[in-house]
């Protein structure tokens, strides 16, 4: 009886101390049209997020033409970047991907890629 109680106690103690699974947030690269909507900065007609480094896009990572993606992302953590200068242009955004009803990107870098947006990009 005592052994059974002790074994149950050890089992419960082990379960309580087991660490919860870690939630990871991926760093991704996304290219799309930068729009200002009210007080929010949005990336519209954006490509699918692809795993990336947090550093700034360069060379072959910057497209020569504006892609016509199907995604929309709300950009957060943008105060460090001069987004008004890139408004209504195609940009490459890198950042932490937060998947939600309206997915968000916590921006780590922003680079202008093309001086225009893809035809049909939402305003």
DSSP conformational letter for 28: E
Q: Report residue 33 as tokens.
A: 């049209």
What's this model's pTM, rounded to 2 decimal places?
Answer: 0.79
Q: Which of 56-60, 90-94, 114-118 is predicted least confidently?
A: 56-60
From 69, 70, 109, 118, select the one nearest 90 (Cα to Cα): 118
Mean pLDDT of 73-80: 96
Q: Structurally, what CATH architecture does the domain formed by 23-114 represent? A: Beta Barrel (2.40)
pLDDT tens digit sequence for 26-61: 899 999 999 999 999 999 999 999 999 888 888 988
């Amino acid at each position: 009886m005592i052994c059974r109680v002790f074994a149950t106690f050890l089992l419960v103690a082990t379960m309580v101390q087991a660490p919860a699974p870690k939630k990871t947030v991926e760093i991704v690269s996304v290219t799309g049209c930068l729009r200002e909507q009210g007080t929010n900065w949005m990336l519209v007609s954006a490509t699918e997020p692809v795993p990336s480094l947090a550093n700034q896009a360069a060379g072959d990572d910057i497209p020569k033409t504006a892609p016509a993606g199907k995604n929309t992302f709300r950009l957060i953590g943008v105060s460090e970047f001069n987004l008004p200068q890139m408004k209504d242009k195609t940009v490459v955004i890198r950042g932490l991907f937060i998947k939600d009803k309206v997915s968000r990107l916590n921006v780590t870098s922003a680079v202008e890629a093309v001086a225009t947006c893809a035809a049909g990009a939402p305003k």
